[in-house]
Chain A
C-alpha cells in the first residue's frame, strides 16, 4: 500500500495543474494554488527520500500486472534525490515568478504549464519502462514548448520554431531506438531489458546493441546538450523570460543526463570497448566548447548558458568512467548543478531587472547600489567553480580522483582546467559589472527583497549542501549502489 506513494511526485503536480486550468484569470488564486502544490510536492519527495533511505528501493507495478508485463514505477534513491532537487528549484521559481513574469503571461495558464512540466520531469525520473520514459519526455517537452513561446514575442517565436523542430526529430529517433531494441529484446521494462541484454553476452545480435546504445546517446545527448548536438541550446535558452530559463537550465538538460546515466548503467555497462569511450570523448569536447563559449561573451545570460554545457560535459565524462568513485562524483555534481544553475539564472534576472541589460558592457558599478546582490553573485560563482567549502567542490574532487584512478589523466586535467575557466568567465563579468564606477541607468523600483528571497533560499541550500556533504554521503552512496550494480535495481523490480 505504501508503495503507491511513489506516484506522489507525479500526481501532485498533475492534479495541481488540472485545478489551475479551471480559473485562469484569477491570478492570486493561481499563485496560491501553484505555491501550495509545489510545497506539497517538496514535502512528499522529501518524505520519499527518507522512506527509501530506510526501506530500500520502492517499486510499484501499476494495475497489479507483474513486472515485465505492466508499467513499473521505480523510486530508487537517485531518482528521488533528483525529484527532491527539482521540487526545490520549482518552489523557488514559482516564488520568483510572482514578481517577474507579468500578469499577461500568468493569465495564460503559466503556472499550470509549469506544473505539467514537473509531471514530465518527475515521471521521467521515476519510470521503469522505456516507452513510458518516451511519453514522459513528451509531456515535459510539450510543456517546455509552451513555456518557451508563452508571451509570443518575436525572439521567442524564432527560438521556439528551432527548438520544436530539433525535439520533434529527436523524439522520432527515440521511437526508432525503442523499436530496434524491442525487435531484438522483445520487452520494454528497463530491468527486464537489462537482464536480457546481459543474457545475450556476445551472441550474434550483440553488435546491434552497440548501435542502439549510440542511438540512445544521440537522443538523450540532444536533450542534454552534448557535443555535437548542443547547437540549439544557446539560441533557444536565450529567448524565454528568466524564471522559465531558470527552470529549463535547472531541469531540462539534467533529465537528458539522468536518462543517459540510467540507460548506460543499466543496459550498456558492458560496452566498454566502444560506446563508453565515445561518451567520454564527446563529454570532453563538450567541456572544451562550453569553455570557449563562456569565455567569448560579455553577456551574463549567455555565459551562464554556456556554463550549462560545461557542467553537462563534466557529469557525462564521469558517467563514462563507470567506477564507483566517479559515479558518486557525478551524482553529487548533478544535484549541485541543478541548484546552482537555477540560482545563477535568478541572479541574472535580478541584474537584468535593475540595469535593463544582461551584457556587462552596458553597465558597471552595480556593487555601489546593491552590495548584497554582488556578494550573492560572488558566492554563487565560487560555488559553481568548486571552491572547497562550497557545493561544487566535493563532486568535482571525486570526479577528478575517479578519472585519475581510471588512468584518464587528460580527462581529469581538462575537468580541473575547466573549473579555472568557469571561475574566470564569471569573475570577468563580476569585476566589470559590479566593480568600478557607477555607469548605466539603474532602475531601483523593482521588488528587490522579494526577488532575492528565492535566490537566498537556493544559495543557502547550495552552501549547506557543500558544508554538510558528509551528511549527504549516505544518501548519495545509496543512489550510486543501484547505478554501479544493476542487479540491485533488477531485484527490486522483480521481487518475490
Chain B
C-alpha cells in the first residue's frame, strides 16, 4: 500500500512541478495546490498505513489504533495551506487588475535605478 501511495504522490509532485514551471499564474496556483495535496498524503503515508481503528477512544478496539499524530499535523498543514492559497488567489486577482495580464512574464523586472 505504501508503494502505491508513493507512486501516486510522486505523480502529484511531477504534475505540481510541471504546472509551477508554466507561464500562467493560475496554473501556478493550481500547481501549488496539487503540491500541498501531495505533501499531505506523504505525511499520512510516512506515518504508516497499517490497518487499525480510527483514533477515537470510544471505539471497540480489535487490533490497534492508527497513529493520530500525522493526522493532527496534516490538519494543521491543510489550514495553513488554505490560508496561503486564499491570499495567493487574491494577490493574483489584484495583479491581474493592476498589470493587465495573468502571465508571469509581466511580473518581470524591478531594477536598481542605476541607469
Q: Please list the residues of chain A having a beta carbon within 8 angstroms of any beta carbon in chain B.
A: 131, 135, 138, 142, 145-146, 149, 152, 154-155, 157-162, 164-165, 168-169, 171-172, 175-176, 178-180, 182-183, 188, 235, 238-239, 297-299, 301-302, 357-359, 361-362
Contacts and interface: CB of A to CB of B under 8 A. Distances in A.
B87 A164 contact: yes
A171 B43 CA distance: 13
Given A172-B35, A183-B47, A238 B25 contact: no
B77 A152 contact: no
A142 B106 CA distance: 24
Contacts of B114: 297-299, 359, 361
Contact of B32 (A138, A169, A358): A169
A82 B106 CA distance: 39
Contacts of A169: 20, 32, 35
A272 to B, nearest CB: 27
B91 interface: yes
Interface of B: 20, 25, 28, 32, 35-36, 38-40, 42-43, 46-48, 69-70, 73, 76-77, 80, 83-84, 87-88, 91-92, 94-95, 98-99, 104, 106-110, 112-115
A301 B112 CA distance: 8
B92 A168 contact: no
A154 B106 CA distance: 11
Contacts of A162: 107
A447 B71 CA distance: 54
Nearest to B96: A157
Contacts of B36: 168, 172
B105 to A, nearest CB: 11
Contacts, number: 114
Given A302-B112, A359-B113, A158 B99 contact: yes
Given A158-B107, A298-B114, A179 B99 contact: no
A370 B53 CA distance: 73
A131 B76 CA distance: 10
A154 B91 CA distance: 12
B84 A179 contact: no
Given A161-B25, A165-B32, A172-B35, A182 B112 contact: no
A168 B32 contact: yes
Given A142-B83, A149-B91, A188-B69, A176 B107 contact: no
B112 A157 contact: no
**Most chain A C-beta atoms within 10 Å of own C-beta, residue among B38, B48, B87:** B87
A428 to B, nearest CB: 13
A157 B98 contact: yes
Contacts of A160: 91
Contacts of B104: 161
Contact of B94 (A152, A179, A301): A152
Contacts of B46: 179-180, 182-183
A103 B79 CA distance: 32
Contacts of B77: 175
B112 A297 contact: yes
Contacts of B43: 175, 178-179, 182
A109 to B, nearest CB: 14
Contacts of A301: 112
11 contacts: A131-B76, A138-B84, A149-B91, A171-B80, A172-B38, A172-B39, A179-B42, A182-B69, A183-B46, A299-B114, A301-B112
A67 to B, nearest CB: 15
B112 A359 contact: yes
A161 B95 contact: yes
A357 B40 CA distance: 46
A175 B39 contact: yes
Given A172-B35, A301-B112, A157 B20 contact: no
Contact of A135 (B80, B87, B91, B99): B80
Contact of B112 (A142, A146, A183, A299): A299
Nearest to A157: B95
Nearest to A153: B98
A302 B115 CA distance: 14
Contacts of B88: 164-165, 168
B75 to A, nearest CB: 12
Contacts of A183: 46-48
Contacts of B32: 165, 168-169, 172
Given A135-B80, A172-B39, A175-B43, A182 B113 contact: no
Contacts of B25: 161
A302 B87 CA distance: 28
A361 B114 CA distance: 7
A152 B90 CA distance: 12
Contact of B84 (A149, A168, A302, A359): A168
A495 to B, nearest CB: 24
Contacts of B70: 179, 182
Nearest to A182: B46
Contact of A158 (B35, B84, B110, B113): B110
Contacts of B98: 152, 154, 157
A157 B91 contact: yes
Given A131-B73, A157-B91, A182-B47, A176 B39 contact: yes
B67 to A, nearest CB: 9
